[in-house]
C-alpha cells in the first residue's frame, strides 16, 4: 500500500479521512500547518477560527489516537507573502479577492506535495468534499456526493500533477455520514464539533479592520470618495473604494428611498457607482488565469457548460469560448453582481471543466467595465 500524507486541521473532516485511509490499509502520516496568528490587534482576547494553536494541538492529539506520525509545519511567512499580500493588493486594486482559491493551489497543494516528497509519500489526502476522476488521460474534479458541502468551486486551480497525487476520502460521503463515522469510531466529541466558516485570517469577518491594520498608510491616502449614480450625480460619500464590493447593499450609509447597490468600483478616481438591482444584470463575463481540467482545450466554436460565479450561487447555463487572454462566458440569461477578482467555475454535469478569475462583465453588447482597475 502507498504512503499517504494527510493534511490534518484538527476538525472532523480531515480526522475521518485518516480513519478511512487506515481502514483501507494505507500507511498514513499527518501534517498540520501553521499559516496565520489569528489574534487581531485589540480585537479579540484569544485566537478563534482555524489554523490556531488550539486546532493544531487537536490535530496532534487525534494523530496520536489514530497511531500515526504527525508533523507541524510553520508556513506563516509564506502565507503572508502570498495569500495576505494577494488579498490586500486585490482590494487596493478595486477587486474582491478569493483567498481560499489562491491558498489551495499555492499553499496547501504547493507545500503539501513538497513535504510529501520529503517524507516519501506518493499521494496526499485532504478533507475536502470533492472527488477526483481520471478519463482520457486527464485528471479532473467532480462534485462531492454531498452537494450542500461540495468544495470543488475552491479547487478549480489545481494542476494535473496536483490532482494525480490527491485523494479526497470523504468526497463520496455526506456530512451526516461523516459525523456518524466519527461517532462509531469512538470520537463522539469530534462528531459533534462545529465548523469554522470565516476566512482563517479574519475570524471576526471584518475585512475593513484587517485592511486598515495591514496597510494603514495606503488606506489613509485613498481616503473618502464619492458615491455616484450612472449619470454621474453625486449622492453621498463613502469611506474609500477598497471597503466595498459589487452587489453590496448594506452598510453604504446613503438613503435614496429604495434599495441601491454597488454596480461599479473605480479605483483610479475613488468613485463608487450605485444603481438599482436591474443594473447589476450582465450576460457576458470575461475570465483570465484559466485552468482547464476535464479537457485540454475549449473548442473555438464554444462549449455548453454550467457556470458558478460564486460559491453559493446556483450554476447558470452558458457557452464558454476561447479569447486571446482567457475565456468568454456567454450566459443564456442574465446573472447578477458578477464581481471581478472572484472565481468563475464551469461544469459539465458534476464534473469540473475548468475555472478562472473574473476580469470584467458586460451587458447586451455594451461594454462598461464593472470595475476600473
- Residues carrying an active site annotation: 103, 200
Cα separation, 57 vs 65, in Å, equals 12
Report the Cα 85 to chain-centroid distance in Å: 15
Three-class secondary structure of residue 256 per DSSP: coil
Backbone angles phi, psi at 253, to 5 degrees: 75, 20
| Residue 65: DSSP 8-state | H
Give Cβ neighbours of residue 326 (< 8 Å, ≥ 6 apart).
286, 287, 288, 289, 290, 356, 359
CA distance readout (Å), 336 to 107, 153, 310, 333: 31, 18, 11, 10
Cα separation, 326 vs 348, in Å, equals 19
Give Cβ neighbours of residue 367 (< 8 Å, ≥ 6 apart).
none
Report the Cα 169 to chain-centroid distance in Å: 20
* Sheet of strand 225-228, all strands in order from the earlier edge strand to the far edge: 234-238, 225-228, 271-275, 261-266, 371-372
Look at the block and give the residue holding cell 470533492: 130
CA distance readout (Å), 368 to 17, 102, 256: 47, 28, 23
Amino acid at each position: 500500500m502507498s504512503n499517504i500524507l494527510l493534511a490534518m486541521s484538527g476538525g472532523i473532516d480531515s480526522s475521518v479521512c485518516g480513519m478511512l485511509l487506515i481502514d483501507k490499509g494505507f500507511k498514513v502520516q499527518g501534517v498540520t500547518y501553521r499559516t496565520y496568528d489569528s489574534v487581531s490587534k485589540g480585537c479579540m482576547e484569544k485566537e478563534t477560527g482555524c489554523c490556531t494553536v488550539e486546532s493544531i494541538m487537536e490535530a496532534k492529539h487525534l494523530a496520536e489516537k489514530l497511531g500515526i506520525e504527525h508533523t507541524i509545519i510553520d508556513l506563516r511567512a509564506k502565507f503572508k507573502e502570498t495569500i495576505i499580500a494577494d488579498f490586500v493588493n486585490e482590494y487596493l486594486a478595486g477587486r474582491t479577492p478569493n483567498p481560499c482559491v489562491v491558498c489551495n493551489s499555492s499553499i496547501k497543494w504547493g507545500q503539501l506535495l513538497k513535504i510529501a516528497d520529503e517524507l516519501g509519500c506518493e499521494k496526499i489526502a485532504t478533507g475536502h468534499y470533492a472527488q477526483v476522476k481520471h478519463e482520457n488521460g486527464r485528471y479532473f474534479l467532480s462534485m462531492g456526493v454531498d452537494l450542500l458541502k461540495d468544495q470543488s468551486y475552491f479547487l478549480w486551480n489545481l494542476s494535473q500533477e496536483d490532482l494525480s497525487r490527491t485523494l479526497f476520502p470523504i468526497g463520496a460521503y455526506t456530512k451526516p455520514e461523516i459525523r456518524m463515522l466519527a461517532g462509531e469510531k469512538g470520537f463522539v466529541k469530534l462528531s459533534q464539533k462545529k465548523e469554522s466558516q470565516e476566512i482563517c485570517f479574519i475570524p471576526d469577518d471584518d475585512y475593513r479592520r484587517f485592511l486598515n491594520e495591514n496597510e494603514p498608510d495606503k488606506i489613509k491616502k485613498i481616503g473618502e470618495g464619492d458615491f455616484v449614480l450612472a449619470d454621474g450625480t453625486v449622492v453621498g460619500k463613502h469611506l474609500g473604494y477598497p471597503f466595498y464590493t459589487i452587489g453590496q447593499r448594506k452598510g453604504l450609509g446613503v438613503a435614496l428611498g429604495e434599495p441601491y447597490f454597488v454596480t461599479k468600483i473605480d479605483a483610479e478616481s475613488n468613485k463608487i457607482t450605485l444603481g438599482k438591482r436591474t443594473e447589476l444584470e450582465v450576460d457576458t463575463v470575461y475570465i483570465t488565469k484559466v485552468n482547464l481540467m476535464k479537457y485540454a482545450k475549449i473548442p473555438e466554436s464554444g462549449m455548453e457548460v454550467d457556470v458558478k460565479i460564486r460559491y453559493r450561487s446556483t450554476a447558470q447555463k452558458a457557452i464558454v469560448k476561447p479569447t486571446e487572454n482567457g475565456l468568454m462566458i456567454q450566459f443564456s440569461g442574465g446573472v447578477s453582481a458578477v464581481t471581478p477578482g472572484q472565481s468563475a467555475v464551469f461544469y459539465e454535469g458534476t464534473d469540473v471543466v475548468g475555472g478562472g478569475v473574473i476580469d470584467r462583465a458586460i451587458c447586451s453588447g455594451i461594454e462598461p467595465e464593472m470595475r476600473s482597475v
